[in-house]
Amino acid sequence: MARTERLLSLLQILRRHRHPVAGQLLADELGISIRTLYRDIAALQALGATIEGEPGVGYVLRPGFLLPPLMFSQAELEALILGMRWVSSFADRSLAVAATDALAKIEDVLPPQARDGMGAVPLRVGPPGPAASLTEDLTSLRDAIRRERKLEVRYRGKDGHESRRVIWPFAIGYFTSGRILVGWCELRQDYRHFRTDRLVGTRTLADRYPRRRTTMLREWLKHQSASSPPN
C-alpha cells in the first residue's frame, strides 16, 4: 500500500471511532508496524489533522479536518457512482436532479487518471417499479422532517377512500417499487406507513411535534417488523 493511500486509510479508520483506538489495533488493521503508525500519525498531525492521544492510551481524530478534494479510492468512486445512479433512477425528482448534478461536479474535479477510470466497470441499476413516479417531488416532506413539523395529509387508502390525518413525519423509505413516508399518526395513535403516491395533498403545519425525530426513529426501528406492509 502506497504511503498516501495508507494515510487516507488511517484517517478513515479514525473517523469510524468516536473514542480513542489503541495504536496496535490501528497498526494491525493497516498491516504496518507500530513504529510506522507513529510516523504516519505525526505526518497527519503535521498536515493539520487534530489527532489526540499517545502511545499506550489510544488515538482519536477530532472533527474539523478536511481531506484534500476528491481523494477517493477506485472502490469508493464506484460506490458513489452506483449510489448516485440509484438515486437518479429511484428517488423523487428533486433528489434525482441533485444526484445527477453532484456526479457531474465530482467528475469535473477528479484527477485525470481517476476520471478515466470512472466508467471502466459498467455499473447500472434496473428500472423503477410502476409505483415509483419519476415526477414525484418530496422536497416538502423532507423539509417537514428536518424541521420536525406536523403534516396535515389527505391520504387515499387501498379501497380508494380518502381520510385526513395529522402525522409527525420522521423518515422516508425509498424502494424500487415506490416511496414510503413514516410517521406517528394522531388519528391512529400509532406509527403508520404512507405510500407517497397515495398522498392526495399535504400541508406543513406551524406546530412542531412534541417528540424528537431521532427518538421516534429509534423506537420505530426497535418495533418494526420486516414484514409490516404499508397501510
Q: Has residue 17 got a pLDDT over 60?
A: yes
Q: Give pTM, 2 decimals.
A: 0.58
d(CA 183, CA 228): 14
The helix (H) or strand (E) run that includes residue 193 is: strand 190-195
Q: Over the stretch 33-56, which tens digit does the pLDDT of each residue have?
A: 999 999 999 988 888 888 888 777
* Residue-level pLDDT at 190: 92
As to burial, measured by CB atoms within 10 angstroms (0-12 exposed, 13-18 middle, 19+ buried), residue 87 is: buried
- Closest listed residue to residue 21, CA positions, set 47, 50, 70, 56: 56
As a whole number of Å, the CA-based R_g of the chain is 23
Q: What domains does the chain contain, in order, with CATH numbers?
A: 3-61 (1.10.10.10), 74-117 (no CATH), 139-223 (2.30.30)
At residue 51, the 3 state secondary structure works out as strand
Please indicate whether residue 167 or residue 107 has the higher confidence score (pLDDT). Answer: 167
Q: Has residue 124 got a pLDDT over 80?
A: no
Please indicate whether residue 134 or residue 38 has the higher confidence score (pLDDT). Answer: 38
C-alpha dihedral sign at 70, 76, 78, 79? negative
* Residue-level pLDDT at 28: 92
Give 120's DSSP letter.
S
Q: Residue 156 has which C-alpha cell? A: 387515499
Q: Has residue 126 got a pLDDT over 70?
A: no
Residue 115's Cβ-side half-sphere holds a number of Cα atoms within 13 Å equal to 10
User: Could you tell me the pLDDT band of residue 144, with boundaries at 50, 70 and 90?
Assistant: very high
Mean pLDDT over 151-173 rounds to 92
